[in-house]
Chains A and B, each alone.
Chain A
Amino acid sequence: MHAPVVTTGRDLRLDLFRGIALWLIFLDHIPSNVVSWITIRNYGFSDATEIFIFISGYTAAFVYGRAMRERGFVVSGARILRRAWQIYVAHIFLFAIYMAEISYVATSFDNPLYAEEMNILDFLKQPDMTIVQALLLKFKPVNMDILPLYIILLLLFPPILWLLQRWPTLALGASFALYVLAWQFGWNLPAYPDGTWYFNPFAWQLLFVFGAWCAIGGAKRLAPILQSPVTMAIAILYLGFAFVIALSWHLPEQTSIVPHWLEDLIYPIDKTNLDVLRFAHFLALAVLTVRFVPRTWPMLNAWILYPAILCGQHSLEIFCLGVFLAFAGHFALVEISGAFWMQVVISLSGIVAMIATAALVTWYKELEGRSPGSRSKPPDADLAGGEA
């Protein structure tokens, strides 16, 4: 047996940045929210989704990779599939809440100005079709696209992980090849009632597998490249470029700062298929992060970052809660007041609710983990307890 390829003990940076990503996703999911101006999607190409998927791939490999080495393919594969099932159930639960909201709004809101919107939304009220399509993961309401992607990625993860542990470069190469082929041939899964998946699993798997590859020793191999000043310079230049382009989206008069040939070259920046520009933007952010936030960064143990770390450690619960809170928050903005202060209050109280829930989940897990006769768990049981 070879020595463990990943260092033991939790890399708190993963929890920290996943927690922050969950907050940002929540803020972005509340429509017309002033506070969402602070989120990274306004300052470059990529957004919190990239961070979330990458870290999810990283932790999945970290947690289940050890299980696969210690207990074999079948056991770890079974655990991965159980995790996929949990996420599926969570997704359907969110869908039920969504249907409740939409039925209420479509019935109670009778403004003639919006007759068209309401008429077409009526198709959503046909439970015979929509519920079946939702169970098949074909019908995915707004803001509910990430979990189905995650489910597919986990379903396919056992063989990927197996390959990653034997021939990591080959696995990453295959993932990249699939990404290229999906772009080349326009592969995607069908959606209901029209179109295809908002997050194309054939494209987004690259980020997930790349995260897993990094966890299985890739990060160490990349270290010389990551530390080089040339890489740093390229990353900073690229982030600056993305920032200028992003600026042009928000200042209509200044659209002329981007020449036509450049527009033709970079647009459309395709989120569905994980545009290369987005992927590169995420990589550039990651390069800076790894450089300036070392694993041993003292602040990682500071109380001020603890809430984000806590949320990142229970990503499924907190992600689902965030989707629900975004619905509920928007509902409150519509029914009570959409004023500026209200948007700030909703945003802040949502994040507080996420932190409180994460603390509660930790407490529950401690109860279960510490009870006598429970199976022995590795020291970072919380992470291994399924927060992949």
Chain B
Amino acid sequence: MRAFIAVVLAAAAVAGQAFAVDPPSCAVPDNLLFVDNTLNKVTTAVGKQHQLAISVFGTGSSTLAGAEGPSLAYPARLEAALNQRLSKVTVRVTSRTKNGLTADGMRRTIKDMLLDDRPNLVIWQTGTVDAIRRVELDEFRAALEDGVETLQAAGTDVMLMNMQYSPRTESMISVGPYVDEMRAVAQQRDIPLFDRFAIMRYWSDEGAFDFYAAGKDNGLARRVHDCLGRAIGALVIEDGHLQPFVNKATQ
């Protein structure tokens, strides 16, 4: 049992590297991050080609505003984190984000994205727009299942990512049922779910971040995205069983 042993991601990722922002303590307990899934395509790509292509398929919360926003958002931070932790592997993370799309709207554009990127792993971030527009749960679930099927049929691994924890809008946006639905789909399809909602909530409860803060605090958004990128990196390494390959390669 890996009960509540915190993984201090910060230490692993920043080792030996001077990094602009001070790494906050955004450790994530194992039980929030890992559910014993496997990412076979990732394992193969890293083991055989020493390459890993990841596509982040998301909406507005997968990027940050401003000219340098994309380079500070979690997809870019994930790329940096994985390249640091996986020596001799070239990791490329492409970010495909479009504002305001529901899961069903995204599902329709999956094919275009796949043709362009040919990823080994697709991280599908969705649910926020559905929750705000109160899309019917059945439809949401059907869109997720169909999208996951399409992705898997195209030969990529899939990881789902749910909404941000947003305490200020909790009384206006009911994300709970959509979180549950995504968890159920991930469980039934045996694919990993990056539970961004639970993880950010954990950070909030632990006092790592103050998500209640109002005002234009770009620093907060950057730090959160950096932590998200590293946590996703840890999940990719765990479920892709990547550490052993790296160890062998360095021996």
Contact = CB atoms under 8 A, between A and B. Distances in A.
A198 B178 CA distance: 13
Interface in A67-118: 98, 101-102, 105, 108-117
A333 B171 CA distance: 11
Interface residues of A, number: 50
B108 interface: no
Interface string B55-97: 0000111001100000000000000000000000000000000
Interface string B3-20: 100000000000000000
B170 A32 contact: yes
Interface string B202-241: 0000000001111111101100100000000000000000
Interface string B133-165: 111111101000000000000000000000010
B24 interface: no
B64 to A, nearest CB: 6
A268 interface: yes
Contacts of A98: 172
A196 interface: yes
B166 interface: yes
A111 to B, nearest CB: 6
Contacts of B129: 120
A330 B173 CA distance: 13
Interface stretch (A171-179, A187-195, A215-223, A345-353): A187-195
A320 B212 CA distance: 27
Given A198-B134, A334-B168, A108 B221 contact: no
Interface in B28-42: 31-32, 35
Interface of A: 29-32, 98, 101-102, 105, 108-117, 119-121, 124, 141-143, 191, 193-196, 198, 249, 252-253, 255, 260, 263-264, 267-268, 270-272, 326-327, 330-331, 333-334, 338
The list of the 3 closest CB pairs from A to B, nearest first, reads A116-B60, A31-B170, A195-B136
Given A141-B172, A263-B184, 10 more contacts: A30-B171, A105-B169, A109-B214, A113-B221, A119-B99, A121-B173, A142-B172, A191-B134, A194-B102, A252-B31
